[in-house]
Amino acid sequence: MTGEAVVLGLRTAKLPSRALAVVLDLAVEFAAFFIVTVLLLTLLEGLDGAAAAALMICMMVFFLVAVPVTVETLTHGRSLGKMALGLRVVRLDGGPARFRHALVRGLVGIIEIILLTGVPAAITSLVNSDGRRLGDIFAGTIVVRERVPAGRSTGPVVAPPPQVMAALGTDLVRLDLSSVPEGLWLAIRQLLGRADQLDAEVAFRMAHQLAGDVAMRTQWPVPAGLHPALYLGAVLTERQRREWQRAAAAAPYAQPMAPSPYAPPVPVPVPSPFAPPMPQFAPPAAPVRYLGVPPQAPAPSAPVPQAPVQSAPVPQAPVQPAPVPPAPVQPPPVVPVQVTPPPVLPVRAAEPQDAPPATAPVADGGFALPG
């Protein structure tokens, strides 16, 4: 949504609420200025008139310029009076006010509110349609209402009823929504989401402008008699339907389908009271993760320098000469030895004392037994 459109969609603060907030702020500032100045003059009794006047001027600048500027910068456009009435200072594009905006508002406010008793600020706020005073015009800011009273919603109904969707269904299906940029879709969602907080005229003007942009890009004009907000709601609903259809078509391939809530419950086995107790095993320790604290990845350990590995010297065996096969042993030659038989000595028979009788010789040269 464009910058000015955002601001116009908010409820701007008018003169009565702004004047009351300024009165509360000035009352607190002057009270603090008076108390601090009296204390300083009491403690510093020896000051002359010039020094006392200079001190009062410094205190006035501090409490009427420095303090309001600092408070609006730190609170993003909210002073004590604005907090009490639910007001806030924002830029024309809807963003929070910064230091330079608060400084310009404070310097101009000294002239138009304090020195000129607020007459230029009141006249400018009455003439301006957004209730802006001179400080807001020079700083490029606007004061809006943050708290919207209940029961004052006069915005149009933005949710398209089924009758409208049924009447526009054929034309919505044929629309080419690819030419509508994301920024325009965001503006439509913001408008439809804040319809209850907008004035009827402001909401109609913004819806008419956005509907014209959508009709120009989709080549489908707003049907006669249809509120622009309903037209935008119908187009946005059609876009969401197409996105849901594409997501549903891609879901079965991306992740398993969740079980149906209407499926019958799975029976849970109930252990028998007579069954022996089962041993209990402690589950493995799981990493504990605290909500809101992202899981911490283990810190990489520093590489430990490793000393180069020196290989031990391998002792080399002494080189043994190749064994020489022994020469075959030749048996000694066999020398024939002539053996001489020993001489046979004649044996002389002993003569018995009583010789037996002689026997006759046997014809074949043997001996005959004595008979």
Residues 123 and 236 placed together within one structural domain of the fold: no
Tell whether 299 is covered by a domain: no
Q: Which residue has the tokens 């639910």?
A: 86
Under the banding of pLDDT at 50, 70 and 90, the label for residue 192 is confident
Going through 15-167 in order, the beta strands assigned E by DSSP cover 87-91, 141-145
Q: pLDDT at residue 163 above 90? A: no
Q: Which residues of 281-301 are buried (b: 16+ CB within 10 A; e: fewer)?
A: eeeeeeeeeeeeeeeeeeeee
The pLDDT of 144-154, averaged and rounded, is: 59
- pLDDT for the residue 29: 92
- pLDDT for the residue 23: 92
Residues 135 and 169 placed together within one structural domain of the fold: no
Residues 176 and 80 placed together within one structural domain of the fold: no
Q: What is the pLDDT of residues 49-101, one digit of tens each?
A: 888 888 888 998 999 999 999 999 999 888 999 999 889 998 887 778 899 99
**Domain stop point among 243, 263, 280:** 243
- The total of structural domains in the chain comes to 2
**Domain stop point among 118, 145, 172:** 145
Mean pLDDT of the chain: 74
What residues are paired with 145 via a beta bridge? 87
Residues 141 and 204 placed together within one structural domain of the fold: no
- At 141 the three-state DSSP class reads strand
Q: Which residues of 93-130 are buried (b: 16+ CB within 10 A; e: fewer)?
A: ebeebeeebbbbbbebbbebbeeeebebbbebbeebeb
- pLDDT for the residue 248: 83
Q: pLDDT at residue 25 above 90? A: yes
Residues 122 and 189 placed together within one structural domain of the fold: no
Neighbours of 203 (CB within 10 A): 25
The pLDDT of 301-322, averaged and rounded, is: 60
Q: pLDDT at residue 260 above 60? A: no
